[in-house]
A = this chain, B = another copy of it.
Amino acid sequence: MTIMARQFHLKSRPEGLPQANNFELVEQDLPAPERGQLLVANRWLSVDPYMRGRMTGRESYMPPFQVGEPLDGAAIGVIVESKDERFSPGEVVSHFAGWRDRAIIDAASATRIDTTIPEQAYLGPLGFPGFAAYIGMLQIGKPRAGETVFVSAAAGSVGSLAVQIAKIKECRVVASAGGEDKLRWLREEAGADATINYKNTDDMVAALREAAPKGVDIYFDNVGGTHLEAALEAANDFARFALCGMIEQYNSEPVGPRNIYAVIEKSLLLQGFVTIHNMSVWEDFQRDVTRWIADGKVKWQETVVHGLERTPSAFLDLFAGKNIGKMVIDLRDGETP
């Protein structure tokens, strides 16, 4: 019996904002799993802004996607067939063969998940987006009670956890996002003390100074551009900047922060980071966030898109800010074998 998989390939490299025609849905017969491999049927797929970087041809912390080859990324799947004694059919695992409905994966790349938590949380607060928030806020930000923390793209999958970790650490949190519905959730559910709707703000510096009258001690950057400039302007001496993403400039000619001299003048720390270089704290992260979820201290939102064929449009919607919280693709409707 052959098993057919449908998977998205990179058809061409995007110039500027990616378009639907940069992606192609391809049908492919899968081989039978070999010893140490699993056949999984995906239930949830993740799309994330960082994937834009892999669509350029440039070498980076992850290898670039290749034209004509399948895309990949985080996914949650159920095991259909196992050739590894550690896993059994029916178990749900997180793995990295996303952008497709079925895959043969190495068992070593699969992680069994705690099914008492909604499984797609392992693409959000318990997945790499949550891990980015955890590393950036705790390892770099090192929040102290009473400090002021500014988080951009705060309603996204990374930002929303960054906000809540800062609140757990008893900081005052200023959150920016685009749209009143996002800001309301940040204030009412995530605990943000002040919010900025950047889409209604001509002057980010003035808005941030008003929202953070005592200055900014920690900036968690998901946006870059004018947000980064405003944070440099509002920073207190010795502030820490955890640089996680710069979505404002992924699809356009980048503009550098003109007030970069503030880094010297205010003795600022700017630390860039990527999750995969910090795996030594993964277990701590899983333990802490699982407990915070159980204690009701961490909440999250999802934007759910249904059906494999909508994966590219869900990805494109990230750059229009159409997601609230984690953008996920639900493949369960009629897709499970």
Contact = CB atoms under 8 A, between A and B. Distances in A.
Interface in A261-292: 261-274, 277
A258 B256 contact: yes
A224 B264 CA distance: 11
Specify which of A60, A260, A263, A277 lies most central, judged by the most chain B CB atoms within 10 Å of its CB.
A260
A60 B264 CA distance: 10
Contacts of A253: 258
Interface in A58-72: 60-61
Contacts of A245: 264
Contacts of A267: 61, 271-274, 277
Given A61-B267, A255-B256, A246 B274 contact: no
A60 B265 contact: yes
A8 B266 CA distance: 28
Contacts of A53: 265
A249 interface: yes
A57 interface: no
Contact of A259 (B244, B256, B258, B259): B256
A257 interface: yes
Contact of A264 (B246, B260, B262): B246
Copies in the complex: 2
A190 interface: no
A264 B254 contact: no
A147 interface: no
B277 A272 contact: no
Nearest to A254: B258
A262 B264 CA distance: 19
B268 A237 contact: no
A265 B61 contact: yes
Nearest to A276: B267
Contacts of A260: 224, 228, 246, 254, 256-257, 260
A243 interface: yes
A270 B264 CA distance: 10
A61 B269 CA distance: 16
Contacts of A269: 269-272
A135 to B, nearest CB: 11
Nearest to A221: B264
A220 to B, nearest CB: 12
A270 B274 contact: no
Nearest to A278: B267
Contact of A273 (B61, B228, B259, B264): B264
Contacts of A270: 263, 268-271
Nearest to A264: B272
A237 B271 contact: no
Given A61-B237, A237-B61, A264 B258 contact: no
Nearest to A266: B272
Contacts of A259: 254, 256
7 contacts: A53-B265, A61-B237, A61-B266, A228-B260, A254-B258, A267-B272, A270-B271
Given A224-B261, A257-B257, 4 more contacts: A61-B267, A229-B256, A263-B270, A268-B270
